[in-house]
Amino acid sequence: MLNDNNLTQVQRNLHFKLKKVISNGGGINNILKVASENDLLKVLTIGYTTRFPRGGERTLTLLSLAIFKCNDECVNSILIHSQNNGTLQEIINTENIINYQDGLMYTLTSLGFAINHNKPRYINDILTKAQDSGILQDILAARNIVQYFNTMEYALTPLSFSIYKGNKECISSILEKAQNNDMLQGVFIAENILQFSDGLTHILTPISFAIYENNKEFCN
C-alpha cells in the first residue's frame, strides 16, 4: 500500500475530494470520469489512516472506505471503473490495515474487509465483478493476515477468513461463486498458513482449518 507521500499535489487533492464525497454519502462517478487513469490508480491504492478514540487505528483504501460507509453508489463506481480500466485486481487486493489497541491486527484485501464487517452485498459485488473480469481465481487465492502481538500469525484465503469470522453467509457466497465457475476444487485445496511464536507452523486446507477452528457447520 502506498501512502500520500507517494502522491503529487494533484493526486492528494483528488484523494481528499473522493474521500470527502464517499464519507458524506455522495456519488463519485463524475469525478472518476474526468480524472487521469494514472492519478486514479495511485489514489485508489493508497490508504487513509483514522485513529480510534481509545487507541489503535485503521488504514483503508477508498474502496474499503466506501464499504465501511455503506455507500453503494461509490462501491459500484469504483468497481466498474477499475474493471473497465483493467485495474480491478490491484484495487481489490490492495492492503487495508486494522490495528486494535489489544494487539490484534488485520491486513485485509477489500474482499477481506467486507467479510470482516459482514457486508454480504459488497462481497457479492466484488465476487461478481471479479468473475466478469476473469480474475475470480486470483481474488479467491489472495490471503488475509491475522496477527496477535508476536504470538501468532494466520494467512487465510477469503473462504478460510470467513470461517475464522464465523460468517456463514460469506462462506455460502464464496462456495456458490466458486462452484458456478468450476473453481471449487481449487478453493478447497488452497493453503492457509498458521505460524506461532514457538516456531510451529500449520499449513491447512479450508476444511482442515474449519476443523482446527471447530467450525462444525462448515464441515457439514
Residue pair 159/190 in contact by the 8 Å Cβ criterion: yes
Over the stretch 78-93, which tens digit does the pLDDT of each residue have?
999 999 999 999 999 9
- 40: cell is 486514479
Domains identified in the chain, total number: 1
Q: Can you tell me the distance from the alpha carbon of 183 to that of 36, in angstroms, rounded to the nearest whole number?
A: 35
Query: Which domain range does residue 173 map to?
Result: 4-219
Q: Please classify residue 200 by burial: count the beta carbons closer than 10 Å to its beta carbon, then call 0-12 exposed, 13-18 middle and 19+ buried.
A: exposed
Q: Mind listing the pLDDT tens digit for each residue in 140-154?
A: 999 999 999 889 999
pLDDT for res 220: 56
Binned at pLDDT 50, 70 and 90, residue 55 comes out as confident
Locus of grid cell 454519502:
25
pLDDT over threshold 80, residue 1: no
Report whether 142 contacts 126 (CB < 8 A).
Answer: no
pTM of the model: 0.93
Residue 75's domain is classified under what CATH number? 1.25.40.20
CA dist., res. 158 & res. 170, Å (int): 9
Phi, psi of 49, deg, nearest 5: -100, 130
Q: Say whether 193 sits in a helix, a strand or coil.
A: strand
- Report the chain's C-alpha Rg in angstroms: 18
**What digits encode the pLDDT tens for the residues 96-140?**
999 998 899 999 999 999 999 999 999 999 999 999 999 999 999
- Distance, CA of 174 to CA of 200 (rounded, Å): 29
pLDDT digits (tens, 9 = 90+) for 191-218: 999 999 999 999 999 999 999 988 655 6
pLDDT for res 26: 95
